[in-house]
Chain A
Amino acid sequence: MKIWSIASKDLFITLKDKRALALIILMPIVLILVLGLSLNSMFNGSESKMAPIEIGFVDLDGSEAAQEIKSVLESDSMTSIVNVTTLIEKEALEKVEKGEFASVIIVPENYSSQMESGDAATIQIIEDKGNEMQNSIVRSIMNHYAGTSSALLAAADSAGTMLSEYQIPGEIIIPELVESVDSKSAVSAGNITKDGEGLSAMQYYSAAMISMYILFVGMLGTTSIIEEREEGTLRRLLATRATKAEILTGKFTGLMVLGIIVVTILILFTKVVFRVEWGSSLSGLIVLSMAMTFAACGLSMLLATVFKTSKTADIVNPVIIMLMAFVGGNMIPLYEMHPSLQNAANLLLNNWALKGFLNLMVDNGFSSIITTSIVLFLMGAGFLGLGISRLKLQ
């Protein structure tokens, strides 16, 4: 009862504050529109099409089966999506480390023998971590290839006596892949919306702005706690029958609800008005949004212990958010940035949230955000724990 009273009071105060609402709802919408329209070429190389993704191909098996994979990737239909270069392993790995390749596909030595003996054969994909969007496209292509070829092999196996030998027919797989590019999956990787447009800047910046502006929602929470401390209302709360745990849970709950409202509004608005495709996994979208909001709210509780006055918080907090947004890929796509910054981005919750949303957008499904969501929940729990242990209400 007390927890909900504190939460609803905070929510009511924020919803009455037109400046706060403009900051957390209007600003991201305007930025999505401006950045989405003006930076489309940065994503696609042209107005609507994406530049082919540079990938390396390493054949350690030297088999026909390996060449079949390569031929699928080099087929006419796929050239607009990926550009494959065959290299030795060391060279390929260097290039992915430098960011010249988004991924390297390695066919291992025993690939064909494992396939022939009916064992699970694994194709290895080494990725440039700062290039999540393109990686998810390559992953999706290979998953689709593996799925289709497994189905064909199983069919051939069951035919048994009728077929003396079989091979994976590229002429069947390629149309399958291309169809999925055109219709729904991430093979289109980047070219994914249902109406056939690319993974546009509008999509990227919808995900980027939401995962950045959730930090501003957190900022409101930080300021609210500090202001209550300055104005003496937290002290007064402690003199009532509300416990410290109830007060903090109430503040956190109010902020969580606000965050979820904001994320829901922004996702719905971009979907309806800007026709942004958020992928088909609603459950993924819900879990990821909750995890991201939890992490941002946890961070806000920790930051409330860092700043002494609300004025300092109001000045320094936006600077921190901008830095986080810059490093985390919310302003410039990560693959455009220096590798050291790309590594640093892994420490930021906004980067994890962005990667999660992009995975959902390219229809990698719920499974693609499980790790991301766990990381975000753990970050949130860590921030929250540290914040509560340090927080002084008076």
Chain B
Amino acid sequence: MLNTLDHIELSQVVEIVSVDHSPISSKLTEMGLVSGQLITTLFRAPFGDPIAIELNGTVLSLRLEEAQFIEVKA
């Protein structure tokens, strides 16, 4: 099932399907967020935003408004 990253529960492993076009899409890609990449949702900051994810052994934090551009599947 397709979803965007901001809607994924914690401690899930998901695969990136695509990164939507946005002013920051090249920056998301440069951080390694590319289609086919597996990511794990790790933490939510207090108040639910931003979130922290793990990919290739490093932890990235991103705001929900940034995460919504990332389409993932379980």
A associates with B: no
B-to-A contact residues, CB < 8 Å: none
A-to-B contact residues, CB < 8 Å: none
